[in-house]
Structure 1
Amino acid sequence: MTVDPQPKPFDPAGAATAFAGLHRAGEPLLLPNAWDHASARALAGQGFCAVGTTSLGVAAAAGLPDGAAATREETLRLAMALGSEPFLLSVDAEGGFSDDPDEVARLARELYAVGAVGINLEDGLGPAARHAAKIAAVKRAAPGLFVNARTDTHWLGDGDGTLARLDAYRQAGADGVFVPGLTDLRGIEALVRHLDVPLNVLYSPAGPPVARLADVGVGRVSLGSLLYRRALGAALEAVADLRAGRTPTGPTPSYDEVAEFAAPDRGTGPAPGVI
């Protein structure tokens, strides 16, 4: 990613339009998910013009449970730190940290105000009508925010009711829909044909490669907590090597490189469409 070194005013509408435009069938947005400021800036430094957050990584780093509406403040604090960075930010907000649509809408306004261009909202297999009400409330409160509506019918169930839920969420105003846990290419392709909004799937090392997902028309491929879990795995592997008298292998950023991730950025907001 190349960024204009001169500060520029942040254009929320332009950033949101740029983010929506990255969801292209046949050329999906590969969205890496960060868990803190350093990981987000490191990913942006690898050329990703859009970065998401992972609720598991944010929760685990804070010593809190994931999916339990316990990390609203931590999520908002991270969004405040990342919203002014020169990349497009999408925030994983679990189910909005509340069953009250007005409370979820209030969170969406706060996220949009600090520079987020997208929000991921999951239904957790709760009532579809309640989740649709949250989506509608968010779109009223922050119309420019890209709402990625997630259903957990495959993640937590057997896939039953997926189409009905996605239709309800689309009618409520969702800009895209997310079906984690679905790895069957025929099923994915069938959903793409049914939908009039981008389909987001969760990448799985045991599932189809990104190129095959692109072939069937997926608009976005998220990495979820994969990078956070791989980072923990690499740390455990390194300490096991040291304990066994071996020298750890693999890339290791220097102290100065990591310190640079905390340095103030020269821009004043995302640079939409500059890749």
Structure 2
Amino acid sequence: MRVRRSLRQAASRTSPLVAPTAQDAFTARMIEGLGFKAVALGGSTMLAARYALPDLGLAALAEMVETARDIINATELPCIMDGDDGYGDVKSVVRMVRIYDELGVGAVVLEDQIREVKQSGNNNARRVAPHDEIIRKLRAAVETRSDKDLMVITRCDAYAIEGLEGSLKRCDAYLKAGADGVFIPGVSTVEELERVGKTFRGSYQIVDMLENRPTWLKPSELAAMGFSQVVYPNFVMLRTMLATNDALMQLQRFATDDSPPVLLSDFEGARALFREIVREEEWSSLEQRFR
């Protein structure tokens, strides 16, 4: 069993806690190496990186666990795990929490979006479950965890359906039911973000930042509003995709018409960073140690 890294402790030391999203183990190791204090594991990026699939409810718990395990084992940072809707009823939620508890995650995020009509990433949800159904799942999750350092956070996807008022009411009910924190994705104005932060100030609050929204704010501004953690769901993944696409296009042109690719200005430096991330020296030293 992996020793749990406490998300609560990390958040108490850093305000707000900026948690980049890792689509794979290599990225998680880079996040840790650059000094971030937590890693977010999102279904959309993990499914894209491992299976080239959209996040439309296609993956079962087993597939998510298989993907997450590699990422979790690659870092010493607390990991915030996307728990989707729990993959079924309360029995499935209990099973999911037991598994992620054993893996040592710092938090599980449980959403109220209906799985059968799930929308990818931060697109507007089509339907959300009745709040009493989510409360039952929350109670099951909270009672199942082995200790309070495994946080249970509720993601409320009702914003596009019930508006801000409905989302606030839901989150209030979720907190009263035992949730350790709340997350309302997709809030579209700064004024509404301020209201969310003020309403739940003192509770653990996650806020998402996407570059195509007018709500793109500095982490310090979000902390002042009352938010505990900031996530950037596609920030790393989209840049990774574009950089890979550019490199492949250069190779394709080189292969077809001899157009030279742009060579790395510091090839040896890049190789050294690669070896550092995969901890090549640590593994190589075992050969000497056990001679």
Match of 1:72 in 2: 61
Q: Deviations over 1:148-183 (max 9, x none)?
A: 210112367644511111012111211111111114
Match of 1:27 in 2: 15
Task: State the one-letter code of the partner of 2:92.
Answer: E
Distance (whole Å) between structure 2 residues aligned to residue 35 and residue 54 of structure 1:
7
How many residues are treated as equivalent by the alignment? 253
1:96–1:261 Cα change, 3 Å: farther
- Highest relative contact order (Cα 8 Å, sep 6+), 1 or 2? 1
Task: State the one-letter code of the partner of 1:50.
Answer: A
Match of 2:151 in 1: 146
Structure 1 residue 79: deviation in Å? 3.2
Task: State the one-letter code of the partner of 1:203.
Answer: M
Distance (whole Å) between structure 1 residues aligned to residue 15 and residue 62 of structure 2:
34
The percentage of aligned residue pairs carrying the same residue is 25
Distance (whole Å) between structure 2 residues aligned to residue 146 and residue 251 of structure 1:
43
Higher helix proportion (structure 1 or 2):
2
Listed as ranges, the gaps of 5+ residues in structure 1 are 1-8, 267-275
Distance (whole Å) between structure 2 residues aligned to residue 175 and residue 239 of structure 1:
44
Match of 1:254 in 2: 270
Contact 1:147 1:176 survives alignment (8 Å): yes
Do structure 1's residue 176 and structure 2's residue 181 form an aligned pair? Answer: yes
1:155–1:37 Cα change, 3 Å: farther
Distance (whole Å) between structure 1 residues aligned to residue 266 and residue 225 of structure 2:
34
Distance (whole Å) between structure 2 residues aligned to residue 161 and residue 187 of structure 1:
13
Task: State the one-letter code of the partner of 1:134.
Answer: K
Normalised to the residue count of structure 1, the TM-score between the two structures is 0.80
Distance (whole Å) between structure 2 residues aligned to residue 127 and residue 188 of structure 1:
24
Match of 1:128 in 2: 131
Distance (whole Å) between structure 1 residues aligned to residue 166 and residue 13 of structure 2:
24
Match of 1:94 in 2: 84
Task: State the one-letter code of the partner of 2:109.
Answer: N
The farther-off stretch of 104-113 and 77-86 is 77-86
Distance (whole Å) between structure 2 residues aligned to residue 42 and residue 109 of structure 1:
28
Contact 2:209 2:231 survives alignment (8 Å): yes
> Rg: which structure is higher?
2
Distance (whole Å) between structure 1 residues aligned to residue 18 and residue 208 of structure 2:
10
1:57–1:42 Cα change, 3 Å: same
Match of 1:164 in 2: 169
Structure 1 residue 217: deviation in Å? 1.8
Q: Choose from 222, 225, 242 the match for 2:231.
A: 222
Task: State the one-letter code of the partner of 1:103.
Answer: S
Structure 1 residue 115: deviation in Å? 1.4
Distance (whole Å) between structure 2 residues aligned to residue 215 and residue 58 of structure 1:
31
Do structure 1's residue 63 and structure 2's residue 52 form an aligned pair? Answer: yes
Name the Cα RMSD after superposition. 3.0
1:258–1:179 Cα change, 3 Å: same
Normalised to the residue count of structure 2, the TM-score between the two structures is 0.76
Listed as ranges, the gaps of 5+ residues in structure 2 are 114-127, 254-258, 283-291
Distance (whole Å) between structure 2 residues aligned to residue 132 and residue 216 of structure 1:
27
Contact 2:151 2:180 survives alignment (8 Å): yes
Do structure 1's residue 198 and structure 2's residue 204 form an aligned pair? Answer: yes
Match of 1:270 in 2: none
Q: Choose from 33, 39, 44 the match for 2:27.
A: 39
Distance (whole Å) between structure 1 residues aligned to residue 245 and residue 53 of structure 2:
21
Structure 1 residue 23: deviation in Å? 3.3
Distance (whole Å) between structure 1 residues aligned to residue 227 and residue 281 of structure 2:
33
Contact 1:90 1:118 survives alignment (8 Å): yes
